[in-house]
Amino acid sequence: MKFFGYILLFLSSHLGLFAQAFLPAAPSGQVIHHRHYSLCYAESHEQASWVYYELTAYEASSGRYERTDNFRENPKVTTGSASLSDYRASGYDRGHLAPAGDMAFSMTALSESFYLSNMSPQHPSFNRGIWKQLEGLARSWAVGQSVLYVATGPVLEPGLRRIGPNQVSIPNRFYKVLLDYDEENGSYSAIGFILPNRKGQGPLAAYAVSVDEVERLTGIDFYSQLPDSIETIVEKKIDPGYWDWQAAPVTRTGKSPAIPARQCAGITQKGVRCRNRTKSETGYCHLHEGSSVGKQKAATAPKKRTTSVRCIGTTKSGARCKRNTLSRNQKCWQHGGN
């Protein structure tokens, strides 16, 4: 199963060149792009209505970095995100939408997964039980199928109970949708899940639904970039036999040597260098990460192309990579683009 090459958009370099091929259509809310995932922030509920990312076999199996549990507010949310005080003594977990386990291939991606905009109040038995099982199964599928396109989030509806000073909504249900494309035979397959926010009962397959059903429940349009004739078929049905429900848990690759903390390269509003310490590959702390404000200009930073070209890299099967890239060396991020 190879990378889907029908339509591919790349974000500019400061967003990490992560593929945005199937970004959900946002009904409302602020769309925010991070290094490896995007989200749509629903201010009235103080959490994301959806989170979207591409999950490759490498990313799903990498265990290079250990989680730091650096839960914090998201500076990119213009209205202000939920805060730590919202969850304190609430009885609910700060449940990841884009899992930290899917981001362990990059220190920056892993760190950004701990923004509170990527959290939703989850019952502990749900977060640590069936939700965790589904996250693990999705990683197993990504390893076996090369790449998946994942969208996930809470079902936000009127009348939900609230926690904390910012009145964060407590969802009654959560969803996840996954899309896979088999280039060899030109087939598509998608599957959805709707799970109640409580201790799970029975196998994960019992919670499987069509993408259409998730769309009806949430009002979100998933995978709208597919041709209408294909989207209608793919989202209408589910093919349980396509997905390996007995997939073996992912064996993580070795961890990287410990990265020493260094002084942030950012510049404060007073014009002096930031004193925070960071282990991020970018050299910036969470206050300056992903923002052009307060960053030092890199004198030797390579200029990006203004138009994309096809990657010159070669896949494991020996075929030419079908990704597009803005890198000067004509290679996508997976093949060492700059």
H or E stretch at 139: helix 130-145
Cβ atoms of 159 and 175 closer than 8 Å: no
Query: What residue ranges do the domains of the chain occupy?
Result: 13-242, 260-301, 302-338
d(CA 250, CA 76): 33
Q: Helix or strand or coil: residue 322?
A: coil
pLDDT digits (tens, 9 = 90+) for 5-29: 333 333 333 333 345 678 998 778 9
In this structure, whether the domain defined by 13-242 belongs to CATH 3.90.180.10 is answered with no
**Residue that has been written with the tokens 């998608």 in this structure:** 190
pLDDT score recorded for residue 291: 56
pLDDT of residue 6: 31
Name the pTM for this structure: 0.74
Q: Mean pLDDT, to the nearest integer, of 275-298?
A: 64
**Candidate list 96, 123, 286, 288, residue with the active-site label:** 96
| Alpha-carbon gap, residue 261 to 55, rounded angstroms | 28
pLDDT-derived band at 282, boundaries 50, 70, 90: low
- If you compute the radius of gyration of the chain from its CA atoms, what whole number of angstroms results? 20
The 10s digit of each residue's pLDDT in 138-156 is 999 999 887 899 999 999 9
Q: Is 276 annotated as a binding residue?
A: no
Active site residue 96: yes
